[in-house]
C-alpha cells in the first residue's frame, strides 16, 4: 500500500519539521472506498476513514509514494458522524514537505473523539474503458447485448473492497488489485432489435471492382438506442463490440467485431460486419450535360444509374448514398461553393430522400431489393438519380 494516512500523536506546539523523529503514530484504516469512474477525464478515488482526534490541533499525514495522485486535487472532508457523537473538526492548514509525495493536515477538534472523514483525490493509472458482447439470433432479427467495464489498475495502489461507479447503472463492489485488469458486467439488454443494413457510398466505401464500376456493399448491424429497439436507457459509451451469432445448434459463432462509437439516445450504433458479396451494385454516370445560362454560368444535368442484383434468397433493403460535393468533383467541377441542386424528373428511385438523413450535402435513398426467384433467376433492378446542379461556374 503506497497511500498512507497517519495520525501523528504530537503535542500541538511541536512544529512540522520535527515530525521525522516522531515514531508514535496511528494508522486509520480505510473503512470504505469509492472509485468514481463517471468522468472520461480523470478517476476520482474517495476513501473514508475513522480518524481519532484529540481536543486541539492534530497532525494528519497523508503520503502517496510511487503513485500518481494529483496533489492539487486532494480533499479532506468531514462527514456527519453516524453514531451521533460528533466531533467538530476543521482543517486549519495543509503543509507540503519538500521532495516528498506527502502532505500534513493540521486539523483542529473541539473535543476528543473519532471523526469520519473522506479523502478524495484524482488518481492516474486507474483507467476505464467499455466493451460489448453481442449475440445475435440465428435469423439476425435481434441480439443480446452485454456491456462491460474494463478497469486497468496501473496506479501502483490496491483497494481491497471498493465501490465502483461509472456514472450510470448500479454501483459495483469489487476489490481492485495491483496491476490488475478487470472486466465487469455492467448491464445486459436481452431483446435488442437489430437491423441489417446494406449500403453503398462510392466516396465512403468505394468500389469492389472499380473497372467494372461495381460498388462495395458493406453490411452493418444497426442498433438504435431507443426503447422501441430494446435500448434507450443511457447513452452507449465508445467501445469494441464483439459479435457472435447463434448457430441453431446451441452454440454461437464469432462473426466479427467493430468499434462502436459513442451513441447518444435515439442515435444509431452501426457495426460493420463485412462486405456482402451477393448483392451487386453497378454505378455509372449516365448523363452529364452542361446547359449555359449566361456567360460562364451553367446548370449541369446529371443522371447516376444504379443497376442492382440481389442474389440472396430473401428480400433486403439497400441504402444508396451520394455525397454531392464529391459527386460534383467526380464530374470535373471543382470549386469551394456549396452545391445547389434539385432532383430531376428522370429520377426513378422509389420515394424521396430520407428526410432525417439527407441534407444539402448528402442524399440517402432506401431501396427494397427483391430476392432471386425459385428458379434462381435474379432480377436486375435499375434506378436512376437525376440531379440538376445549378448555378455552377469556374
Query: Which residues contact another protein by CB under 8 A?
Result: 12-13, 15-20, 34, 36, 38-39, 41-42, 44, 46, 55-57, 72-73, 75, 79, 90-99, 106, 108-110, 118, 120, 122, 165, 167, 235, 262, 264-267, 294-297, 337-340, 359-361, 390-391, 393
- Give dist(CA 229, CA 36) in Å, integer: 30
Closest approach, Cβ 390 to another protein, in A, equals 7
Q: Where are the alpha helices (DSSP H) in 18-67?
A: none
- Give dist(CA 163, CA 170) in Å, integer: 10
Q: How many residues does the chain have?
A: 394
C-beta closer to another protein: residue 19 or 219:
19
C-beta closer to another protein: residue 254 or 356:
356
- Name the strand (E) or helix (H) holding 218: strand 218-224
C-beta closer to another protein: residue 20 or 211:
20
Closest approach, Cβ 98 to another protein, in A, equals 3
C-beta closer to another protein: residue 39 or 179:
39
- Residue 122: name the closest of 166, 181, 195, 69 by CA: 69
Closest approach, Cβ 357 to another protein, in A, equals 10
C-beta closer to another protein: residue 54 or 184:
54
- Name the strand (E) or helix (H) holding 330: helix 324-330
Burial of residue 157 (number of CB atoms within 10 Å: 0-12, 13-18, 19+): buried
Closest approach, Cβ 297 to another protein, in A, equals 5
- What pairing do the DSSP bridges indicate for beta strands 159-165 and 30-36? parallel
Closest approach, Cβ 113 to another protein, in A, equals 14
- Give dist(CA 218, CA 276) in Å, integer: 6
Cα dist. 114→4, 56, 176, 356, 389 in Å?
18, 13, 28, 61, 79
C-beta closer to another protein: residue 96 or 259:
96
C-beta closer to another protein: residue 85 or 296:
296
Closest approach, Cβ 27 to another protein, in A, equals 21
Closest approach, Cβ 391 to another protein, in A, equals 4
Cβ–Cβ < 8 Å for 131, 151: no
C-beta closer to another protein: residue 15 or 332:
15
C-beta closer to another protein: residue 136 or 269:
269
Closest approach, Cβ 46 to another protein, in A, equals 5
- Give dist(CA 77, CA 71) in Å, integer: 15
Closest approach, Cβ 96 to another protein, in A, equals 4
Q: How many CA atoms lie within 13 A of 22 on its CB side?
A: 18
- Residue 136: name the closest of 276, 244, 269 by CA: 244
Closest approach, Cβ 10 to another protein, in A, equals 11
C-beta closer to another protein: residue 259 or 393:
393
Which stretches does DSSP call E strand in 248-333?
252-260, 268-275, 279-294, 297-310, 316-323
For residue 321, give the C-alpha cell: 448514398
Cβ–Cβ < 8 Å for 216, 108: no
Burial of residue 274 (number of CB atoms within 10 Å: 0-12, 13-18, 19+): exposed
Instruction: Spell out the residues 6+ positions from residue 365 whose beta carbon is closer than 8 angstroms to its own.
Output: 319, 320, 321, 349, 350, 351, 352, 353, 354, 383, 385
Amino acid at each position: 500500500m503506497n497511500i498512507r494516512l497517519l495520525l501523528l500523536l504530537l503535542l500541538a506546539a511541536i512544529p512540522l519539521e520535527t515530525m521525522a523523529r516522531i515514531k508514535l503514530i496511528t494508522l486509520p484504516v480505510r473503512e470504505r472506498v469509492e472509485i468514481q469512474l463517471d468522468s472520461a477525464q480523470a478517476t476520482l478515488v474517495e476513501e473514508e476513514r475513522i480518524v481519532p482526534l484529540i481536543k486541539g490541533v492534530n497532525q494528519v499525514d497523508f503520503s502517496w509514494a510511487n503513485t500518481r495522485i494529483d496533489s492539487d486535487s486532494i480533499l479532506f472532508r468531514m462527514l456527519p458522524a453516524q453514531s451521533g457523537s460528533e466531533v467538530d473538526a476543521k482543517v486549519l492548514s495543509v503543509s507540503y514537505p519538500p521532495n516528498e509525495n506527502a502532505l500534513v493536515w493540521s486539523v483542529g477538534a473541539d473535543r476528543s473523539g473519532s471523526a469520519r472523514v473522506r479523502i478524495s483525490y484524482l488518481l492516474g493509472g486507474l483507467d476505464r474503458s467499455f466493451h460489448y458482447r453481442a449475440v445475435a439470433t440465428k435469423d439476425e432479427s435481434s441480439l443480446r447485448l452485454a456491456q462491460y467495464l474494463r478497469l486497468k489498475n496501473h496506479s501502483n495502489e490496491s483497494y481491497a473492497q471498493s465501490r465502483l461507479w461509472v456514472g450510470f447503472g448500479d454501483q459495483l463492489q469489487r476489490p481492485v488489485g495491483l496491476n490488475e485488469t478487470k472486466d465487469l458486467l455492467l448491464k445486459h439488454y436481452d431483446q435488442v432489435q437489430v437491423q441489417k443494413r446494406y449500403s453503398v457510398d462510392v466516396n465512403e466505401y468505394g468500389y469492389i471492382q472499380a473497372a467494372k464500376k461495381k460498388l462495395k456493399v458493406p453490411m452493418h448491424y444497426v442498433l438504435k438506442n431507443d426503447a422501441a429497439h430494446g435500448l434507450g436507457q443511457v447513452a452507449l459509451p465508445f467501445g469494441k463490440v464483439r459479435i457472435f451469432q447463434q448457430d441453431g445448434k446451441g452454440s454461437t459463432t464469432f462473426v466479427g467485431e467493430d468499434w462502436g462509437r459513442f451513441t447518444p439516445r435515439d442515435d444509431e450504433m452501426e457495426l460493420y460486419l463485412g462486405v456482402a458479396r451477393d448483392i451487386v451494385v453497378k454505378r455509372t454516370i449516365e448523363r452529364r450535360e452542361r446547359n449555359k445560362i449566361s456567360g460562364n454560368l451553367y446548370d449541369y444535368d446529371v443522371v447516376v444509374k444504379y443497376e442492382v442484383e440481389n442474389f440472396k434468397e430473401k428480400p433486403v433493403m439497400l441504402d444508396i448514398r451520394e455525397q454531392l460535393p464529391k459527386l460534383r468533383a467526380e464530374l470535373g467541377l471543382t470549386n469551394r461553393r456549396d452545391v445547389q441542386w434539385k432532383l430531376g424528373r428522370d429520377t426513378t428511385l422509389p420515394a424521396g430522400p430520407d428526410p432525417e438523413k439527407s441534407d444539402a450535402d448528402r442524399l440517402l435513398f432506401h431501396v427494397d431489393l427483391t430476392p432471386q426467384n425459385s428458379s434462381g433467376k435474379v432480377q436486375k433492378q435499375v434506378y436512376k438519380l437525376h440531379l440538376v446542379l445549378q448555378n455552377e461556374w469556374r
